[in-house]
Amino acid sequence: MFTDRRREGAAAKDAPLSRGPHRLQEAAQQDAGDAVHATEITAARELTHHRIRKCMKNEDATMEISMAKRFCGRMARYVADECIQLHGGFGDIRESRAGRVFVDTRLISIGGGADEVMIHSMAKMLGP
């Protein structure tokens, strides 16, 4: 999962504008960003696995489904936004992979209920 991102990040770091004294700082920030993304991806994966375990036990997993959909959708949009930022102007082009993913991830939060619908659903389940 991170290998594609690292390869694309390396290509962006090798761009002419990246040469100079800030390159080491940018590399350190990239490593810190990877740690943050790894944490969020692990959280999304564990939330999804928890939902699956509940479904396999025939338990009601409506709350977990709503939580996973909202969190994973936001996470996907965040990562896509980071890719656009990393690639600069090229990332905005719809023909680029980053541009397509950016547009497509927005549909995750719309399909099956917007974030606001998921929040409302979770609030009802939590009660007054």
Q: Check residues 18 and 73 and name the one with the higher pLDDT.
A: 73
Q: Check residues 109 and 65 and name the one with the higher pLDDT.
A: 65
Q: Is the per-residue pLDDT at 6 higher than 60?
A: no
Q: Concatenated DSSP letters for 18-56?
A: G-STTHHHHHHHHHHHHHHHHHHHHHHHHHHHHHHHHHH
- The torsion region of residue 2 among left (phi > 0), alpha (psi -120 to 50) and beta comes to alpha
* Highest mean pLDDT (candidates 28-32, 41-45, 116-120): 41-45
pLDDT-derived band at 109, boundaries 50, 70, 90: confident
What predicted TM-score, i.e. pTM, was given to this entire model?
0.63
Tell me which fold the domain 35-126 belongs to.
Butyryl-CoA Dehydrogenase, subunit A; domain 3 (1.20.140)
Are 37 and 9 a contacting pair, CB within 8 Å? Answer: no
Pairwise CA distance, residues 60 & 95, whole Å? 41
